[in-house]
Structure 1
Amino acid sequence: MEHLLHRAIRRQDDHLLDLGCGDGTWLLRALEAHGGVTAVGVDISGEGFDHVLSEAARLGLEDRLELHRQDVAEYRSARKADLVLSVGAAYAFGGLLPTLNAAREHLTEDGMLLLGDCFWEREPDAAVRAQQEDGPQKYADLPTTVAQVVADGWTPVYGYTSTIAEWDEYEWCWTGTLARWALDNPEHPDSDRALQMSAAHRTSWLGGYRGFLGFVVLLLRRTPPPASTEVS
């Protein structure tokens, strides 16, 4: 993600908006690496905000970072962003195209969008597809996904496709962190539920979408309208 941010941040006074920012860690890293950049993160959870804001204060960056606990689809800002990030949050908008539409409204005229979304590495069986597409969001293969983005008026200027090793690292960390917390806190009322959630997700991943579902991050700019041609 850091090398993508380095490509996406063009000026030292860029303003960043992360729609679905998680705990805000990536914005904090962007601020550390780019003096003068300001950033706003929005996430409906808000989990981890206190820690990241505390870390920002320790580093002297607190005046350049705002984190808002809010539904990203309802968030409105008076200031347009030079870079909008939406990585793994398309479900919150109802799918890929609604995410692109939302990002467009937040961007400056020459702004860039860092978009991350899933796609099918290979055609899944019906059960795996139903499990992963149980809401409004549907996935396609990578060429079709990129074609949909282009047809919506965007030009990819860079992209990165996660490897299966990176997927595995993410999933083991996700399920392992939850399981570790449950085992370390057996008296907590949510301990059993957390352990069950970890096991259910691990089974869904290893016995279901592993090797089928991929993830791509695209760096996008608006496609200019075609130049008008005069007929003599």
Structure 2
Amino acid sequence: MNRAQISLLAHAGHPIAAPLDDDSVRLLLDRVLPHVDARVLDLGCGPAEWLLRALAGRPRLRAEGVDVSADALARAREAAHALGVQDRLVLHHEDAADFAPAHTFDVVLSVGATHAFGGLRATLAAARRHLAPGGRVLIGDGFWERAPSPEAEEMLGDLGDLPSVMDTVAAGGWTPVGGHISARRELDAYEWAWTGSLASWALDHPADPDSAQALAAADAHRDEWVRVYRDCFGFVCLVLRPTSG
């Protein structure tokens, strides 16, 4: 069982794949999608839950998603057919950092996928390349709510605190016009869903050869969350517009 397969199982109960509840997702989409006929791109879309929710409520919207996981994209196609939005969704199986479309987009999303580009600064630069004049970006990334332990830093990488995130945004030529900082209940609900969905699958399929690995992964993740980063990790989503051309 590879990392992508584990992720799909772990996110079964929380398909948005980020520490936000449904109301927060809806409000962010309303903020970043001011036009009913916008063209939207999700860089690192996974099963494309952000795009599916946007398409379901906006019949003139058109969307494209990019991801390296064939399994996640297959899940997205199934869901798009179930919702009846498959004709307005194009999915690309490739590295989001290498994506080179023939046109630009009114909205670019990248929530929880900055690792695909090597960090927030590079993700914002990629979003700008794909953004049409007057467009908006929705970016979501982790930050340190308080000073992390060395173990937490090693585990989650080179995150900054919230002021550092805002400095990076401003230095890249962006102005926030909306946003959301995940509440503790959203962060905890996400982790319980991640570990619970994966553990439940393992316990429901004891004869599966991947069951033991899935259960061990759920246990390890839960232990890391509780013991290492729960008290210091935060998550912020920002709706951005270019400050200047």
**Same fold, TM exceeding 0.5?**
yes
Q: Which residue of 197, 208, 229 corresponds with 1:188?
A: 208
Shift of 1:47: 2.9
Shift of 1:65: 0.7
Task: State the number of aligned residues.
Answer: 221
For residues 224 and 206 of structure 1, what CA distance do their matches in structure 2 show? 42
The 5-angstrom pairing of residues 79-118 of structure 1 reads 79-118=103-142
> 3-state DSSP class of the match of 1:181?
helix
For residues 87 and 42 of structure 1, what CA distance do their matches in structure 2 show? 12
User: Which structure 1 residue ranges, 4+ long, deviate > 4 Å from structure 2?
Assistant: none
For residues 208 and 78 of structure 1, what CA distance do their matches in structure 2 show? 44
For residues 179 and 121 of structure 2, what CA distance do their matches in structure 1 show? 18
Gaps of 5+ in 1: 226-232
Shift of 1:191: 1.0
Query: How high is the sequence identity, in percent, across the aligned residues?
Result: 48
Letter in 1 for 2:33: I
Q: Which structure is richer in relative contact order (CA contacts within 8 A, separation 6 or more)? A: 2
Q: Is the 8 A contact 1:87 1:116 kept in 2?
A: yes
Gaps of 5+ in 2: 1-24
Larger Rg: 1
Q: TM-score, normalised on structure 1? A: 0.91
Letter in 2 for 1:161: I
Shift of 1:159: 1.0
Show CA shifts across 1:29-62 (max 9, x none).
1011112000011111233433432332243321
Aligned: 1:163 with 2:163: no
> 3-state DSSP class of the match of 1:140?
coil
Q: Quick check: 23-32 or 58-67, which moved more?
A: 58-67
Show CA shifts across 1:53-82 (max 9, x none).
233224332110112222111122112110
Q: Quick check: 123-132 or 82-91, which moved more?
A: 123-132
CA RMSD of aligned residues (A): 1.3
User: Residue 63 of structure 2 corresponds to which residue in structure 1?
Assistant: 39
For residues 168 and 109 of structure 2, what CA distance do their matches in structure 1 show? 18
Shift of 1:111: 1.1
Q: TM-score, normalised on structure 2? A: 0.86
